[in-house]
Structure 1
Amino acid sequence: MRILERREPDNKKTDVSDHEGLKAAMHGFVIDRIEDDKIIYDDNQKKLEDAISSYIRQYCRIYEINIGREQFATLEKELLDEIVGFGPLQTLLEDPTINDILINGPRKIYIERGGVLERADMRFLDNRHVLRVIRRMISPLGRRIDESSPIVDGRLADGSRINAIVPPLALDGPCLSIRKFRKDPLTAEELLAGGSITKEVLDYLTNAVKSRRNMLISGATGSGKTTLLNILSQYIPLTERIVTIEDAAELQLRNDHVVRLETRPENNEGVGEVSARELVKNALRMRPDRIIVGESRGGEVLDVLQAMNTGHSGSMSTVHANSAADAMTRLEMMVGMSGFKGSSDLILKMIGSALDLIVQIGRKPDGHRCVLQVAELRMVDREVKLHPLFTYDDTSKTLRAVDTKVVPLLDDEVTG
């Protein structure tokens, strides 16, 4: 028999207590057979899984490996994850309580759960093992990663966002960052229950959306900008047409009339890139009522501001910034990056004319995410000023109205 002919006597001495060593030996045995039998090329996932389980049993029988039922089940799942799925990451990807997975080389895996980072009790075999999983993740994207192309951004089939960087740029081995995509988006009720926002502020923001105020959501990485944008978008009237532009599709709008656009990076030959700015310009030709840009980070800001000033009221976007004032500075800088030749005063007036509200969101040291400030842009003596409406109070740990006179929206603004 073919299997008996390929028997390697040294494997018979495998130490059952050496779990990683046994798994590595089994891995090589199984890979050889599924490649020889060409099962690896079969599109039938169930057939491949059944074959892998069968080969594991053959290995134990041929090399007289006596292991308990629990260890056998563990080895079987880990090998199935490694060959069919994403290795040690498979369990983490399936855990709904985990938001981020961060791999710093083969022996350092961290996860973020509830806004707090912790080290995961698992590891890869070596750098090649990490690289193999990364390549399996990006293969459906038509991307490659190696010394000549050491950085990759992409999105998994479930919407999770991934970034990989490998040597020579990553000095301690291949690094992988995964921002998991929540299947069931957070609701306004969950934000209220978790203390991330107050009923008063939520009502104000939802009325602002209904009354077609232009809004910018500002915050640091992982602060919850996209989550809040998703929730507020639910209050856009169903009669309106929305066009979204994103680098990696994360928005989960529940409206019926939504056109989703996604940028495209250059291919392996260095061509084919489609930027956010090109998509914004194209979106203006698609008869949108509102334009939502997942994240403003470049020259597209100029086109978004112009769209807000020319009939596309109620548009929204997010930006990375530590405060509402910093968000203004970042917008000014990005308009300058677009090649706009106007003065700083003109850029600020354009921003003030286009935007109505800036919502600052952040994450506290304990991992709690919450809205920190809602500010209105006003023209005062021909200058654009930020006027805080709500500000987070660290003592009471809640948002408080700064100027109650400007909080309520008029009924005709909401309905009109």
Structure 2
Amino acid sequence: MAAWNLKAPAKPAGGAAAAAKPATAMVTTNAESSTGNEAWLVDLKVRTHRQLIERINLAALDNLPRERIGVEVAQVITELLEQDGAALNRTERATLVEDILDELLGLGPLEPLLKDETITDILVNGHDTVFVERRGLLERIGTRFQDEKHLLRIIQKIVSAVGRRIDESSPFVDARLADGSRVNAIVAPLAIDGSLLSIRKFSKIPISMEKMIGLGSIPAKIAPVLSAIVESRLNVIISGGTGSGKTTLLNALSSYINERERIVTIEDSAELQLQQEHVARLETRPPNIEGRGEVNQRDLVKNALRMRPDRIILGECRSGEAFDMLQAMNTGHDGSMTTVHANTPRDALSRIEQMIGMSGIDIPQRSARAQIASAINVVIQIARLSDGRRRLISLSELTGMEGDTVTMQEIFRFNITGRGDHGEVEGRYEATGIRPKFFTQLHAAGIQLESSIFNPRTDLTGE
């Protein structure tokens, strides 16, 4: 063996390998049915993995690349299979080695799904039920965990890597993977039929506005308006339902921020992929096992104001931090952005008003609405349509107050016209004919836009 030998001291004869011998009979008994053969292979993988742990030096794994570990582990596995009497062809042996490496170094059965770039969401409903989302549509796949303990072990591996915990006293958690993918897990006693794990994957290459245009999420003729909104430092709310692409759009919009500006991002689980050089990233912290030490988004928003930010980007506004975010927008931090769960622009404003009430500050309703009207300039509504495609469906501008009501006007909208031959949603983008108030502000900032873009006769859908 080479200098990077992974082998641990040899075990006495008659140990784990000998104990595994009786399983040889399973080859002939179960190989006749595909289901039985699959179960046998799973059992073989678990057994070999257990034996491998006893044979290798786990401490040596930390300092070696996966390829070199793979060569060494493959040799040890070959020896174990020979002792076990298991006959595998080359493909099965290579798959077994890869699966065991995933268990040793990665997240077990999740690894192939995380590497599959066509998958955007991974949803685990217990150890034997896994769904994925591809191109906006859910499908069940054959991936499974050995048992509930196996799934729990993978969940613990994920959350402990970011300093969080999950157990009966704290049965749900938000976390992230090393690549920035967002993770939510919930275990017993809250999860009745087995632990639940949800992973929202993010592209290793941050999505650009050009890619969103190519996907049909945003029409090319509206993209310059979005660029102008960001560059002229208007405050933006991105509104949408779960899985509608709010964070993706926020990432794309952030590409228009000037490189000279200092940006502070605040998130529960860091997932924003800003490309600017001067970005200060903040992440909340849950309470420890004694229930102390929690740092929430509101704490971080308050602290961010002392960090000399040019813009504050709040990954998702969901509670009392809404009040502090509006204060920041009203006190010189123009160009700030956040996302809100809501189905319409008007609902987004109602949600923010409700969240102001969660701040614990006794503020009259009219005063809260006045804060909203003066702080927020633009609400961008995005939705996932029934065909799975995500689209910008409305762009609205706040114009002030009339009595106790926040006034708003829609500038662009997406009108659904029907269905295509393959079930895809068809429609067209159109301007409402209203020239936005911020058009003057854009000119003052030296940004020129063709006024024809706001003409209802202009074809916004075509190239």
TM-score computed with the length of structure 2 as normaliser: 0.85
**Larger CA deviation: 312-321 vs 74-83:** 74-83
Structure 1 position 408, deviation (Å): 7.7
Deviations, residues 206-235 of structure 1 (Å, cap 9, x unaligned) = 111111111100001111111111111111
Matching residue of 1:398: 428
Deviations, residues 106-164 of structure 1 (Å, cap 9, x unaligned) = 11100011111111122112111211211222232233333233212211111111111
Distance 1:53 1:12 in 2: 20
Given the superposition, is the C-alpha separation of residues 28 and 268 from structure 1 closer, same or farther in structure 2, using an over 3 Å criterion? farther
Among residues 5, 25, 33, which one is paired with 2:14 in the alignment?
5
Matching residue of 1:154: 175
Structure 1 position 249, deviation (Å): 1.1
8 A contact 2:70–2:97 mirrored in 1:
no
Gaps of 5+ in 2: 1-9, 32-36, 418-425, 448-463
SS at match of 1:277: helix
Matching residue of 1:52: 73
Among residues 327, 332, 343, which one is paired with 1:322 in the alignment?
343
**Larger CA deviation: 295-304 vs 135-144:** 135-144
Matching residue of 2:100: 79
1:17-166 alignment, distance < 5 Å? 17=31, 18-35=37-54, 37-39=56-58, 42-45=61-64, 46=66, 48-166=69-187
Q: Which amino acid aligns with 1:25?
A: L
Matching residue of 1:388: 410
Structure 1 position 324, deviation (Å): 0.5
SS at match of 1:59: helix
Q: Which amino acid aligns with 1:409?
A: F
Structure 1 position 331, deviation (Å): 0.4
TM-score computed with the length of structure 1 as normaliser: 0.94
Structure 1 position 351, deviation (Å): 0.3
Given the superposition, is the C-alpha separation of residues 314 and 13 from structure 1 closer, same or farther in structure 2, using an over 3 Å criterion? same
**Which structure exhibits the higher relative contact order, with contacts defined as CA atoms closer than 8 Å and separated by 6 or more residues?**
1
Structure 1 position 48, deviation (Å): 4.7
8 A contact 1:106–1:124 mirrored in 2:
yes
8 A contact 1:208–1:409 mirrored in 2:
no
Distance 1:140 1:342 in 2: 41
CA RMSD of aligned residues (A): 2.0
Structure 1 position 337, deviation (Å): 0.8
Among residues 182, 192, 195, which one is paired with 1:174 in the alignment?
195
8 A contact 2:370–2:401 mirrored in 1:
no
Distance 1:282 1:111 in 2: 38
Matching residue of 1:247: 268
Structure 1 position 381, deviation (Å): 3.4
Structure 1 position 84, deviation (Å): 2.4
Matching residue of 2:444: 413
Identity %, equivalent residues: 46
Q: Which amino acid aligns with 2:436?
A: V
Gaps of 5+ in 1: none
